[in-house]
Structure formats: structure tokens, C-alpha cells
């Protein structure tokens, strides 16, 4: 078996960091963030857990499975955003078994841990300053990056709700102590958060989360809601709305809209106590709708997200079939992101609780409320979910 000491060396550097245990999640998260940001442009780096700062391996870790799980959890916890590409495995260092976390350099820096950019300009990890963030932003390879990171030609910062950026978006994405520091003009903040390029042209992400009307520039970026007075589309229409607003405003309006259409009934009564049961659990409705916003294809489809509310069911559909590693036969087990920066923004804003848990959480909410399991219909071009009314 290859000994990493012979391959990586035994001294900390810009691409190699040591940690004694997997228990300090905060330090591990910061290290992963710094290696992914790759300030020195070395292609990423390695974090070795079970090695002290002098490069000496500790005794073999005894709780290996739990330690491996602790480290792997950082990928899905939502604290490191956008999610870095990394592998976690057992390895050998100077003859002892340790944990190796191999982190790839992101193609679209900066990555943040708990709202703070961390870098590794030498053998130590530290918070990035304004100049570090400028370097990372300039290195970003927008043309090769995901669609949601690309600038939209012809648009200006006037198309973005900058008051919403200052009041809601920035505090959700960036740690308070970083916001309080000087030396970060608003354009640099927008650029660092992938909401615009260095010249001030809004990106797809910027228009989606802060645009006054994203659909004016991204044709499919809106939602249709129709409530039918029956079980099919031949029935009369009770309510029909088009929501052409940014993600922040959409979340608020969609919450009010869905709660306004939910019906509840008393399902049991004992003495003066009674329990009300909604037709659908609100959290399940919220989960499928926000996941549709996060995963839809904004690049090649002009179709909207659709919510069709019938007397006996709710159907939520969006353009964009399986993406990346996701297939029709593993969609409930594997997660991949067509819009990784939109996903990161929605996690920071609180619209996503945890990556990779949407389907299981939806099914659990439905079961707890007495509804049948959600039904998924997936093909190459679209994705739909049907929630059936509680009997």
C-alpha cells in the first residue's frame, strides 16, 4: 500500500494540512474550504486526519467508521458552500492508518465555510482578506462554469434589487464580522458571491435570486399555479396565478399561496381536545416546490415550473430531467446539481434544510400526516411529483 508520507511529504504546506482528530468539525470545515479555494493555484490539496502538526501519525483511529462519517458529513451539511468536490478514505501515513480527505480545487471560487472565505497561502489556514477574494474572483472560469454562474449580456446592476441584497441576501451568505470589515465595495461583494461579474454585469444567479423580474431575461424563470375545482383539467378553475419574481420573493408568496389553499379537518376529538389534519403537510409541499426551483433547467427550456392543484392531488412539475450522476433508477439515492450556485444560495437563505434529503423528508412528512407516498415521474426532459390527499 502506498504511504502518503512518501507522496505528499510530512510537513504542512499550501496543499497539505494535518489534524489530530475528526472531532473539531469547525477546523476541518475551514481546512476543506481553504484547500478548495486553492489560493496558490496548486489544484487543491489534502487534509490528513490522525496526524499531529509535526507530521507524526497518532495511534490508529479506533472509531474509524464514525470518524469517516463525521468528515463526509461536511460535504452535505451546507456549511461549506458551494459544495466542494472531495473524497474521504482510509490511507497509510508513516505506517499508521489515518483518514485522507482529498479536496479538488473549485473552478468557481470563492467557497465559504459558515459565510467566511478561508484560504491557505502557506502552511496555515486563515480568513481571506479583500485582496484574496479579488484574486479568487478573477480566477473564476465563468465560461467553463455552470449556467447559473454566467453573466447575462446587456443587463446591469439596475436589474437587481440591491436593497434586498443588503438586507437579506448578504447577511445570509456572509458572516457578520466579515460584513463589518472595510475594504469590500459592493461590486466586489456581488462578484465574490457570483451575483455579477467584475464589470458589474449580473449573472444568471444574480437575476434569479435578486432580479426584479428574472423571467424578462431568463424566459422560463417563473412559476404557474392553477387550482382546479375537480380531479382533472376539464374542471373549472378556482385560482390561477403566475409568479414572476426572484427566489426570495417567490418563497414568501408561495408560502402564503399554498397555506391559503390548504384545508384542514378535525380527525379526532376527546373531550375538549381535538386534532386538525391538513389535506397535505405544508413542509412536504414546500420541499417539492423549492426543489423544483433549485433543480429546473433554466438554460434550454422556456417552460415554467407548474403547480396544478386538483381536488384529490397536487402535481408539481419542472423542466429538466436527471442531471449528472442522477438517473431514473437512482434519483432517490444520488444527488447532483444542475445549478450548484443556486443550490448553495437557497441553502444559505434557509429554503433548503440539508442537501440530498429532500425526497426522504417529503416522504416522512407525508407518512406522518397520513398521506400516501409521493409519486415521481421522471423522463429525459422533465421531472414531476404527485402528492395525493390524505384519505
Residue at a domain's end among 214, 231, 249: 214
Q: Are residues 61 and 175 in the same domain?
A: no
> Peptide bond preceding 14: is omega within 30 degrees of 0, i.e. cis?
no
Crossing angle of helices 340-349 and 282-295, in 10° steps, is 150
pLDDT at 282: 94
| 149 vs 355, residue with greater confidence | 149
Beta-carbon contacts of 261 under 8 Å, excluding residues fewer than 6 positions away, are 227, 239, 309
Q: Are residues 263 and 338 in the same domain?
A: yes
Q: Give the N- to C-terminal CA distance of the chain in Å, as an integer.
A: 59
Please report, for the domain that includes residue 234, its CATH number: 3.30.565.60
The answer to whether position 378 is within a domain reads: yes
pTM of the model: 0.73
Q: Are residues 242 and 369 in the same domain?
A: yes
What H or E segment, with its residue span, contains residue 375? strand 375-378
Residue 113 β-bridge partners: 80, 116
The answer to whether position 261 is within a domain reads: yes
Do residues 162 and 182 make contact, with C-beta atoms less than 8 angstroms apart? no
Closest CA to 218 of 283, 289, 154: 154
**Residue 355 pLDDT class (50, 70, 90 cuts):** low
The answer to whether position 130 is within a domain reads: no
Q: Are residues 191 and 247 in the same domain?
A: no
> Peptide bond preceding 36: is omega within 30 degrees of 0, i.e. cis?
no
Q: Residues of the chain with pLDDT > 90: what percent? A: 58
Backbone angles phi, psi at 110, to 5 degrees: -95, 155
pLDDT at 37: 94
Please report, for the domain that includes residue 61, its CATH number: 3.30.950.30
What mean pLDDT is predicted for residues 379-385? 86
**Full residue range of the structural domain in which residue 102 is found:** 4-119
Q: Are residues 340 and 276 in the same domain?
A: yes
Number of domains in the chain: 3
pLDDT at 10: 93
The answer to whether position 125 is within a domain reads: no
Q: Are residues 103 and 159 in the same domain?
A: no
Q: Are residues 59 and 91 in the same domain?
A: yes
Q: Which of 135-149, 269-283, 324-338 has the highest mean pLDDT?
A: 269-283
Q: Are residues 193 and 299 in the same domain?
A: no
The answer to whether position 149 is within a domain reads: yes
**Residue 143 pLDDT class (50, 70, 90 cuts):** very low
Q: Are residues 107 and 8 in the same domain?
A: yes
Q: Are residues 266 and 154 in the same domain?
A: no
**CA Rg, the chain, in Å?**
23
Amino acid at each position: 500500500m502506498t504511504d502518503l508520507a512518501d507522496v505528499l511529504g510530512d510537513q504542512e504546506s499550501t496543499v497539505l494540512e494535518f489534524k489530530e482528530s475528526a472531532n473539531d468539525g469547525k477546523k476541518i470545515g475551514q481546512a476543506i474550504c481553504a484547500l478548495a479555494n486553492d489560493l496558490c493555484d496548486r489544484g487543491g490539496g489534502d487534509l490528513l486526519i490522525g496526524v499531529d502538526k509535526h507530521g507524526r501519525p497518532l495511534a490508529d483511529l479506533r472509531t474509524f467508521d464514525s470518524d469517516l462519517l463525521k468528515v463526509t458529513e461536511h460535504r452535505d451539511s451546507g456549511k461549506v458552500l458551494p459544495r466542494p468536490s472531495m473524497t474521504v478514505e482510509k490511507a497509510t501515513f508513516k505506517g499508521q492508518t489515518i483518514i485522507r480527505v482529498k479536496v479538488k480545487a473549485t473552478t468557481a471560487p470563492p467557497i465559504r465555510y459558515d459565510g467566511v472565505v478561508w484560504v491557505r497561502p502557506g502552511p496555515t489556514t486563515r480568513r481571506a482578506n479583500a485582496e484574496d477574494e479579488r484574486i479568487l474572483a478573477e480566477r473564476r472560469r465563468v465560461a467553463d462554469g455552470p449556467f447559473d454562474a454566467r453573466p447575462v449580456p446587456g443587463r446591469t446592476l439596475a436589474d437587481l434589487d440591491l436593497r434586498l441584497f443588503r438586507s437579506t441576501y448578504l447577511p445570509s451568505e456572509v458572516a457578520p464580522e466579515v460584513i463589518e470589515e472595510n475594504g469590500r465595495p459592493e461590486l466586489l461583494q456581488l462578484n465574490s458571491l457570483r451575483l455579477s461579474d467584475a464589470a458589474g454585469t449580473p449573472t444568471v444567479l444574480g437575476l434569479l435570486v435578486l432580479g426584479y423580474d428574472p423571467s424578462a431575461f431568463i424566459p422560463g424563470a417563473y412559476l404557474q399555479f392553477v387550482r382546479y375545482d375537480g380531479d382533472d383539467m376539464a374542471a373549472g378553475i378556482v385560482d390561477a396565478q403566475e409568479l414572476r419574481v426572484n427566489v426570495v420573493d417567490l418563497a414568501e408568496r408561495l408560502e402564503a399561496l399554498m397555506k391559503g389553499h390548504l384545508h384542514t379537518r378535525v380527525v379526532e376529538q376527546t373531550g375538549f381536545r381535538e386534532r386538525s389534519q391538513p389535506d397535505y403537510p405544508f413542509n412536504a409541499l414546500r420541499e417539492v416546490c423549492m426543489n423544483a426551483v433549485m433543480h429546473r433547467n433554466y438554460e434550454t427550456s422556456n417552460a415554467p415550473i407548474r403547480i396544478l392543484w386538483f381536488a384529490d392531488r397536487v402535481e408539481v412539475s419542472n423542466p429538466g430531467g436527471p442531471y449528472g450522476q442522477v438517473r431514473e433508477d437512482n434519483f432517490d439515492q444520488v444527488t447532483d446539481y444542475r445549478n450548484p450556485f443556486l443550490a448553495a444560495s437557497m441553502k444559505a437563505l434557509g429554503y433548503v434544510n440539508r442537501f440530498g434529503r429532500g425526497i426522504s423528508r417529503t416522504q416522512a412528512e407525508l407518512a406522518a400526516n397520513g398521506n400516501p407516498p409521493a409519486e415521481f415521474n421522471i423522463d429525459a426532459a422533465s421531472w414531476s411529483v404527485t402528492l395525493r390527499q390524505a384519505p
